[in-house]
Structure 1
Amino acid sequence: MQSINKASQMPMPSERLLELDNVGVHFPTRDGLVRAVNGVSYHVNRGEVLGIVGESGSGKSVTARSIMRLQPRSAINAHGSIRFRRGNGQEVRISDLDWQGREMRDIRGGEIGMVFQEPMTALSPVHTIGTQIMRTVMLHRKVSKAEARNQAIELLTRVQMPRPNDIVDRYPHHLSGGMRQRAMIALALSCDPTLLIADEPTTALDVTTEAQILELLKSLQQEFGMAIVFITHNFGVVADIADRVAVMYLGRVVETGTVDEIFYEPKHPYTQALLQSIPRLGRSHGSRLRTIAGVVPDPYNVPTGCSFHPRCLHGVAGICDSALPDDVQFASGQRARCHFAGQIVPAAEFA
């Protein structure tokens, strides 16, 4: 069987850079308690790319913001821990740090960078691109203003920004969508982070610009040797950039594995359903695209048992709707949270 990408054939680094264990983030609302993240566990090894996929409402972005301690003030860190190994080798529990404290501010931007989905909401509209990069550099590095400006221009050059000496003095609204995203990436990389979180950074871009940004991230990842958490709903992007994949549904990780394992040997029916809904070359003319029945339930009314059972074609009454399934680990290291993990065979056309 041919591998999807070369990265998935490379041996995984053994040192864990980031580890989430049973993380829960809830939001009180008039309709009840929203369990946006309801027991997320995954890890990121040093130097690898972890793809996070799932439908809207699965908790991907809230989890990412929890790592950066950038949740809204109404958020309740209900349970679990987030551990990060800093550059000095010390492991810290990010989940225990004051989000405004010195140590968290040193980590945020200094050791963990983030590329947001919409740079127009992440970049300041009243400051130039150069000023925003310079402020980050000067916050985490002891450099002069002139040195910070030179570093800003160098960063814009490294992210392949056209006319970096000119763009450094431009405002975000002067730039195209692709250029703003490059500026956002330059800002995130300004202090050589060991971990980059990319929250759907190509969603609003056309396919040509999307391909350019993906190639840029891959080249920068190799250049900097950093780990990346890449959040997306696009399995094509995952196949192109990731080493491992975590599939999320309604606030939980339901399956993790290498890219090849997820694409060719998915164990969870939700992962199988997502893959079967992708348009594929070779389909007969007039054939209908497979869809997943129903919609993601409201997070303030999570179904009992397996949260996917109301939409699952293989659900068994009295089992799937009554008990939360265990997280089953297979010999290869692949994991799936399903009562019948590994027993459900994908459709013949996808196997």
Structure 2
Amino acid sequence: MPPERILQLNDVGVHFPTRDGLVKAVNGVSYHVNRGEVLGIVGESGSGKSVTARSIMRLLPKNAVDAGGSVQFRKRDGQEIVLSEQERLGKTMRSLRGGDIGMVFQEPMTALSPVHTIGTQIMRTVMLHQKVSKAQARQRAIELLTKVQMPRPNEIVDNYPHHLSGGMRQRAMIALALACDPCLLIADEPTTALDVTTEAQILELLKSLQQEMDMAIVFITHNFGVVADIADRIAVMYLGRVVETGTVDEIFYEPKHPYTQALLGSIPRLGKSHGKRLRTISGMVPDPYNVPSGCSFHPRCERAVAGVCNVRIPDVVHYASGQIARCHFPGTDLPDPDRMEAAQ
């Protein structure tokens, strides 16, 4: 990997055998994260965002089938490790999880143990990775709760998860993930189900911690507004593949893939005429065990070309700026609905 790179995924695949067929949850995903960078992963439910993240951590269910590809990671000390070659419960992965790599799960109430206090869970992580006493680990837990701006950290350290609100549980989850100063944090929809005010506080917290610790973050979300506020680059996923990658400005102002354009077109914006309908994406995400032939987005694409898009899987198109798009005809704007209405 280049010296500035901390994580590299190359053509990663994860499949699940089911009664209905083979579910290709992740079908050739490639992206990278540089040190100190925030990469936002965006896409509809079922696009493979969370499964890809769990494949990095080797936390997939036992029935998951490794369909190839590689995941490379550079530790804080510079050592490179091929995560995809490590045993799920092996010594290497056990030392990395909670150590060099932290993870904030989507639902803290299920990720946190309901029968152990917040402090106990943080202390166990600290003592597992560092040679410290129980008293030192407890002090570290209080320091971490203070760092994530938890009110009354000296009291909260002895509380159970069900004693806390949703926002406070998410802060506790972040404190647990940061227990051993990781160089990479994977945040899987950390603001889901939070109110707007709490969501803004969690985002601001993650941004300040990222800058303070010079930490790289893989931030998974379905909300373009959230990712615009925190990310440096964005990878857009659809049905197990990355269809476009670029900087925040490139994705928002010069999107190349029709799926990215359609997602952006469906976002409400101030200044639009009252009573105008939002642009929608027709159809639904196909079942992952019955992926369409050719480009997987072609059944919903407004500019799909018969005989091309439904037959051949598109190659990745590279632009001079570094932006990439997986499309046969990238860069063309979708029809403007206002002009279409006027023409009719």
TM-score, length-normalised on structure 2? 0.96
Q: Does 2:137 align with 1:144?
A: no
Deviation by residue 1:142-196 (Cα, 9 ceiling, x = unmatched) = 1000000000000000000000000000000000000000000000000000000
1:331 paired residue number? 320
Q: Which secondary structure does the structure 1 equivalent of 2:304 belong to?
A: coil
**Alpha carbons of 1:14 and 1:89: their partners in 2 closer, same or farther (altered >3 Å)?**
closer
1:345 paired residue number? 333
**Contact 1:110/1:192, CA 8 A, preserved across alignment:** yes
Where does the alignment leave 5 or more consecutive residues of structure 1 unmatched? 1-12
**Alpha carbons of 1:313 and 1:78: their partners in 2 closer, same or farther (altered >3 Å)?**
same
The structure 1 residue matched to 2:249, chosen from 249, 260, 282, is 260
Q: 1:347 Cα deviation (Å)?
A: 5.3
1:9 paired residue number? none
Distance in 2 of aligned mates of 1:347 and 1:221: 39
The structure 1 residue matched to 2:102, chosen from 113, 138, 155, is 113
Q: Which amino acid aligns with 1:201?
A: P
Q: 1:289 Cα deviation (Å)?
A: 0.8
Q: Which amino acid aligns with 2:228?
A: A
Deviation by residue 1:239-258 (Cα, 9 ceiling, x = unmatched) = 10000000000000000000
TM-score, length-normalised on structure 1? 0.94
The structure 2 residue matched to 1:207, chosen from 196, 207, 213, is 196
Deviation by residue 1:296-330 (Cα, 9 ceiling, x = unmatched) = 00000000100000000000000000000001100
Q: 1:282 Cα deviation (Å)?
A: 1.1
Q: Does 2:219 align with 1:234?
A: no
Q: 1:14 Cα deviation (Å)?
A: 6.4
Matches within 5 A, 1:302-313: 302-313=291-302
Q: 1:91 Cα deviation (Å)?
A: 1.1
Q: Which amino acid aligns with 2:333?
A: V
1:168 paired residue number? 157
Q: Which amino acid aligns with 1:25?
A: V
1:293 paired residue number? 282
1:16 paired residue number? 5
Distance in 1 of aligned mates of 2:334 and 2:214: 36
Distance in 2 of aligned mates of 1:272 and 1:309: 14
Matches within 5 A, 1:68-217: 68-217=57-206
Distance in 1 of aligned mates of 2:124 and 2:153: 17
Distance in 1 of aligned mates of 2:267 and 2:275: 15
Q: 1:203 Cα deviation (Å)?
A: 1.0
Percentage identity across paired residues of the two chains = 80
**Alpha carbons of 1:26 and 1:90: their partners in 2 closer, same or farther (altered >3 Å)?**
same
Q: Which secondary structure does the structure 2 equivalent of 1:214 belong to?
A: helix
1:278 paired residue number? 267
Where has structure 1 moved over 4 Å in runs of 4 or more? 346-350
Q: 1:89 Cα deviation (Å)?
A: 1.2
Q: Does 2:36 align with 1:27?
A: no
Deviation by residue 1:74-112 (Cα, 9 ceiling, x = unmatched) = 101111000001122121110000011111111111000
Q: 1:285 Cα deviation (Å)?
A: 1.2
**Contact 2:237/2:243, CA 8 A, preserved across alignment:** yes
Distance in 1 of aligned mates of 2:335 and 2:256: 12
**Contact 1:14/1:46, CA 8 A, preserved across alignment:** no
CA-atom RMSD in angstroms: 1.2
Q: Which amino acid aligns with 2:63?
A: S
Q: Which amino acid aligns with 1:126?
A: V
Q: Which amino acid aligns with 1:31?
A: D
Distance in 1 of aligned mates of 2:46 and 2:108: 21
Q: How many residues align?
A: 337
Q: Which secondary structure does the structure 1 equivalent of 2:72 belong to?
A: strand
Q: Which deviates further from its counterpart, 185-194 or 80-89? A: 80-89
**Contact 2:302/2:334, CA 8 A, preserved across alignment:** no
Where does the alignment leave 5 or more consecutive residues of structure 2 unmatched? 339-344
**Alpha carbons of 1:108 and 1:159: their partners in 2 closer, same or farther (altered >3 Å)?**
same
**Contact 2:279/2:337, CA 8 A, preserved across alignment:** no
